[in-house]
Amino acid sequence: MNKKGFTLVELLAVVALMGVLVIILSTDVVETFKGTKKQNFVTETREVCREATNTFLRESIVTLQAKNYYKFGNDSSHALNLNGRQEFNYFIKVNTDGEVIGLLTWDGTYTIRIVNGYGIDPANITETDIDDSVDTSNMTVEKANQILQ
C-alpha cells in the first residue's frame, strides 16, 4: 500500500511531544528572564551609586555639604542625571566626603537597601543585597530617611 501523509496517531504523538518540550523549555526561559531582570536592577543600582558620587563632586565646587539625591513618584526635583527606566526609583545619602552612606533603590519588583557610614562601594553591590521586606509604598523623603537609619 502506498502511503501519502501521516496518520492521526503520528500527528498526535508529534503534537504531544512538542507540548512537553514547550513546557520544559518555558520554565527555563522564565527563570532566565527573571535572573536577567534581577541582574539589570543590580547594575542600575551600581550606576546610581556611582552617579551620586560624581554629581556630588561636581556640585561640591560650589558648596561642600551632605546631600540627598532622590527620584520617586512624581518627585524628581533632586534627581541625578541618568538615563534608564522610568519606574526605577532611588533615595541616596551622600556625606561631605562624597561617599554614598545610604542607598535605597526600588522598581516595584526588587528593593535594595544598604547603609554604611564608611561608604558604599558600587562594585560590592550584588543580588544578595536585594531586600524585598522594605515597604516602599507611598514613599516620602521622611520615610526614606527613616528606612536608611
Asked if residue 1 has pLDDT above 60, the reply is no
In this prediction, residues 89-98 reach a mean pLDDT of: 92
Dump pLDDT digits (tens) for 57-69: 888 776 778 899 9
Q: Could you tell me which of 26, 100, 14 has the C-alpha nearest to residue 56? A: 100
Predicted local distance difference test score (pLDDT) of residue 2: 63
104 or 7, which is more confident: 104
pLDDT tens for 34-53 read: 788 889 999 999 999 999 99
122 band by pLDDT with thresholds 50, 70 and 90: very high
Burial class (CB in 10 A: 0-12, 13-18, 19+), 38: middle
Contact 73, 107 (CB under 8 A): no
pLDDT bucket at 73, cuts 50 / 70 / 90: confident
Are the beta carbons of 42 and 125 closer than 8 angstroms?
A: yes
The domain segmentation of the chain, as residue ranges, is 8-147
| Contact predicate 129/112, CB 8 Å | yes
Per-residue pLDDT, averaged over 9-26, amounts to: 86
Contact 44, 112 (CB under 8 A): no
CA distance 35 to 45: 15
Fill in the amino acid letter for 120: I
Q: Is residue 50 a contact partner of residue 98, using CB atoms and an 8 Å limit?
A: no
Which tops the pLDDT comparison, 9 or 26? 9
| Residue 107 · residue 139 · CB < 8 Å | no
- The predicted pLDDT at position 132 comes to 85
Query: What's the predicted TM-score (pTM) here?
Result: 0.76
